[in-house]
C-alpha cells in the first residue's frame, strides 16, 4: 500500500446498502459520508445511489439532524453578532410568481431589524430571487463578507448570493439531486435548506413552505411534513423558527418572470400591488418581526407611508443598482384572449411557470443565461369574470421562436366556466393554510 494512502473509516457501498434496505445510519457514518463526498472520496454515482435510497426509504429524524449538522460542518459559519440588531431571515421553498423576498426584506428592515437574505437562482419552473434583482441595471449579487456585514448594519437588508464556503457539501449534493430525480425528498430538502440557513448565522427564521400545482411538493400533507421537519431542525440548532404553509396552486400575483416581478414588487412597496402578494408579504413580515422582538409593528403603515420603499431604494443602491432606472422590456410579445364570456375557475400554476421558463425567464442548467425581460403578465386571476376578447395573459420574450413551445405548455392551463356557480373555483384553498411553530 502506498505511504500516502488513507484508510477510510467506512465503505460507502455498505452505507448505500444499509439505506437501500431501510436501515438507519449512525452519526459517525453520516459525518463520514458527507465529509468523504466533499473531499471527492465518494464519487457522484455513489452519492446518487445513496440519495435515491434515501428518496425511496426515507430517514429518521435523528438522521436528518445529523445530515444537516454534517453539511453545516463542511464549511464556514457566519456571525452577525457585530451587527447590533436582531437578525431574522425568510426562506421560501419556491413557486410561480413568488417574488415575496423583494418587498419583504426592506419592509422588515424598516423596523430596525436586520434581514440577511442569502438567495439563489432559478432552476426549471421556479424563479430565482437573484435573477429577478439582476434585471435592475448595475445591481450585483456578489458581496464580500465585509460588504455584507456593513450593509446589514447600515441599511438593515441584504439580498445576496451565498458564498461557496457556506455548506459546500450541500452545494454538491443539491446539484446532484437536480440531475438524478431526487429533488422531491423531504429529508434531503429539509437538510439542504436548513444547513445553509443555520450556517448563515441568523438568530431567527421564517419558512414559507408551499404546496400545490406550482410547488415541488404538491400535496399539503407533504408540505406540512416538510415544514414540521425544518422547524424542528431550526429549533434544535437554537434558531427561532416558524413556518407558514402556503398555497402555490395558482400563480402568485400577476407577473411571472424577472423584470416584471421586480416592477410588481415595487408596486407593493408603493402601497399597491396584487392582493395576494400583499397578503403574503404582510403575513410573513408579521412573523419575522414577532421573532425579532417587534410583535406590535404596524406592517401595513410601513407600506403606506413610504418607509419600506425608502429602505428598498437604499438596499438597491448599496449593491450598485439604480432604483430609478428603466427595467428591460422584451422585444416581442403575444397576447392570449378569452374565447368566451364566463368566470376563470382554474389557473394551475405549473404550466405558467414552465411557459415562462421556455420564454427565457428561467434556465435548464445552472450555467444558462436568463432573459430578464422574458415572462408572462396575467390580466385575469382565478375567480375573475371575463368577456370574450378580453386579454387573459401576455407572453414576452426577445426570441419569437420561443412562443410555440411556451404556448404548448399553456394548453389547458385555464378554464372559463359559465357564471352560474355550478363549476367551483379551483383555487386550492386559502393563501395561508396553517402556521407551524
Residues 416-430, mean pLDDT to the nearest whole number: 90
Strand-pair partners of 334: 395
Strand, coil or helix: 322: coil
Secondary-structure percent of the chain, ordered helix, strand, coil, rounded to 5: 40, 15, 40
Instruction: Verify that 256 and 134 share a domain, yes or no.
Output: yes
Residue 336 within any structural domain of the chain? yes
- Which pLDDT score, from 0 to 100, does residue 366 have? 66
Q: Is 372 a catalytic residue?
A: no
Instruction: Verify that 203 and 337 share a domain, yes or no.
Output: no
Residue 72 within any structural domain of the chain? no
Please answer whether residues 356 and 376 qualify as being in contact, where contact means their C-beta atoms are separated by less than 8 angstroms. Answer: yes
C-alpha cell of residue 201: 448565522
Q: Is 381 a catalytic residue?
A: no
Residue 199 has pLDDT above 70, yes or no: yes
- Please tell me which residue in 196, 210, 313, 372 is annotated as part of the active site: 196
Instruction: Verify that 168 and 298 share a domain, yes or no.
Output: yes
Residue 321 within any structural domain of the chain? yes
C-alpha cell of residue 126: 421556479
Residue 290 has pLDDT above 70, yes or no: yes
- pLDDT digit string, tens, across residues 102-127: 999 999 999 999 999 988 776 666 77
Strand, coil or helix: 396: strand
> What's the predicted TM-score (pTM) here?
0.94
Residue 76 within any structural domain of the chain? no
Instruction: Verify that 401 and 380 share a domain, yes or no.
Output: yes
Domain extent, residue 117, equals 88-325
Residue 234 within any structural domain of the chain? yes
Instruction: Verify that 154 and 262 share a domain, yes or no.
Output: yes
CATH of the domain at 405: 3.90.1170.30
Instruction: Verify that 159 and 306 share a domain, yes or no.
Output: yes
Instruction: Verify that 308 and 341 share a domain, yes or no.
Output: no
- Which pLDDT score, from 0 to 100, does residue 171 have? 86
* Total count of domains within the chain: 3
Please answer whether residues 281 and 103 qualify as being in contact, where contact means their C-beta atoms are separated by less than 8 angstroms. Answer: yes
DSSP state of 328: P
Instruction: Verify that 111 and 156 share a domain, yes or no.
Output: yes
- Which pLDDT score, from 0 to 100, does residue 166 have? 84
Q: Is 379 a catalytic residue?
A: no
Residue 313 within any structural domain of the chain? yes
The per-residue pLDDT of the chain, averaged, comes to 94
- Please tell me which residue in 90, 99, 172, 177 is annotated as part of the active site: 177
- Which pLDDT score, from 0 to 100, does residue 124 have? 63
- Which pLDDT score, from 0 to 100, does residue 2 have? 47
Q: Is 196 a catalytic residue?
A: yes
Instruction: Verify that 143 and 271 share a domain, yes or no.
Output: yes
Residue 426 has pLDDT above 70, yes or no: yes
Residue 233 within any structural domain of the chain? yes
Strand, coil or helix: 249: coil
Which residue, 407, 414, 373, is CA-closest to 392?
414
- Please tell me which residue in 135, 191, 192, 213 is annotated as part of the active site: 192
- Please tell me which residue in 48, 66, 90, 91 is annotated as part of the active site: 91
CATH of the domain at 43: 1.20.970.10
Which residue, 349, 372, 353, 357, is CA-closest to 260?
372
Residue 431 within any structural domain of the chain? no
Q: Is 91 a catalytic residue?
A: yes
Amino acid at each position: 500500500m502506498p505511504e500516502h494512502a488513507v484508510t477510510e473509516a467506512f465503505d460507502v457501498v455498505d452505507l448505500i446498502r444499509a439505506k437501500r434496505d431501510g436501515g438507519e445510519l449512525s452519526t459517525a457514518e453520516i459525518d463520514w459520508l458527507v465529509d468523504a463526498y466533499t473531499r471527492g472520496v465518494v464519487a457522484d454515482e455513489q452519492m446518487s445511489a445513496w440519495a435515491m435510497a434515501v428518496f425511496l426509504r426515507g430517514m429518521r429524524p435523528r438522521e436528518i439532524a445529523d445530515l444537516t449538522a454534517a453539511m453545516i460542518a463542511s464549511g464556514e459559519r457566519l456571525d452577525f453578532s457585530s451587527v447590533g440588531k436582531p437578525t431574522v431571515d425568510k426562506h421560501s421553498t419556491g413557486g410561480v410568481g413568488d417574488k415575496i423576498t423583494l418587498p419583504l426584506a426592506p419592509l422588515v428592515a424598516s423596523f430596525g431589524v436586520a434581514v440577511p437574505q442569502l438567495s439563489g437562482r432559478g432552476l426549471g419552473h421556479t424563479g430565482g430571487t437573484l435573477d429577478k434583482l439582476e434585471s435592475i441595471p448595475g445591481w450585483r449579487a456578489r458581496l464580500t463578507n465585509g460588504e455584507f456585514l456593513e450593509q446589514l448594519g447600515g441599511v438593515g437588508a441584504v439580498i445576496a448570493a451565498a458564498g461557496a464556503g457556506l455548506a459546500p457539501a450541500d452545494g454538491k449534493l443539491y446539484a446532484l439531486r437536480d440531475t438524478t430525480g431526487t429533488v422531491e425528498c423531504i429529508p434531503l430538502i429539509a437538510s439542504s435548506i436548513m444547513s445553509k440557513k443555520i450556517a448563515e448565522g441568523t438568530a431567527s427564521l421564517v419558512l414559507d413552505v408551499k404546496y400545490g400545482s406550482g410547488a415541488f411538493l404538491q400535496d399539503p400533507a407533504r408540505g406540512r411534513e416538510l415544514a414540521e421537519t425544518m422547524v424542528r431542525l431550526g429549533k434544535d440548532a437554537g434558531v427561532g423558527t416558524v413556518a407558514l404553509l402556503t398555497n402555490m396552486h395558482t400563480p402568485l400575483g400577476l407577473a411571472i418572470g424577472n423584470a416584471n416581478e421586480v416592477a410588481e414588487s415595487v408596486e407593493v412597496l408603493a402601497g399597491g400591488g396584487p392582493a395576494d402578494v400583499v397578503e403574503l408579504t404582510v403575513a410573513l413580515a408579521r412573523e419575522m418581526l414577532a421573532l425579532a422582538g417587534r410583535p406590535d409593528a404596524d406592517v401595513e403603515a410601513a407600506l403606506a407611508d413610504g418607509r419600506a420603499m425608502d429602505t428598498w431604494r437604499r438596499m438597491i443602491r448599496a449593491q450598485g443598482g439604480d432604483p430609478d432606472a428603466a427595467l428591460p422590456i422584451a422585444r416581442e410579445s403575444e397576447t392570449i384572449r378569452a374565447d368566451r364570456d364566463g368566470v376563470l375557475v382554474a389557473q394551475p400554476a405549473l404550466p405558467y411557470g414552465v411557459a415562462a421558463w421556455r420564454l427565457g425567464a428561467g434556465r435548464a442548467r445552472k450555467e444558462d443565461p436568463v432573459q430578464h425581460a422574458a415572462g408572462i403578465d396575467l390580466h385575469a386571476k382565478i375567480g375573475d369574470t371575463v368577456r370574450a376578447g378580453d386579454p387573459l395573459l401576455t407572453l414576452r420574450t426577445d426570441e419569437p421562436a420561443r412562443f410555440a413551445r411556451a404556448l404548448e405548455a399553456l394548453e389547458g392551463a385555464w378554464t372559463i366556466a359559465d357564471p352560474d356557480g355550478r363549476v367551483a373555483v379551483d383555487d386550492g384553498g386559502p393563501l395561508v393554510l396553517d402556521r407551524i411553530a
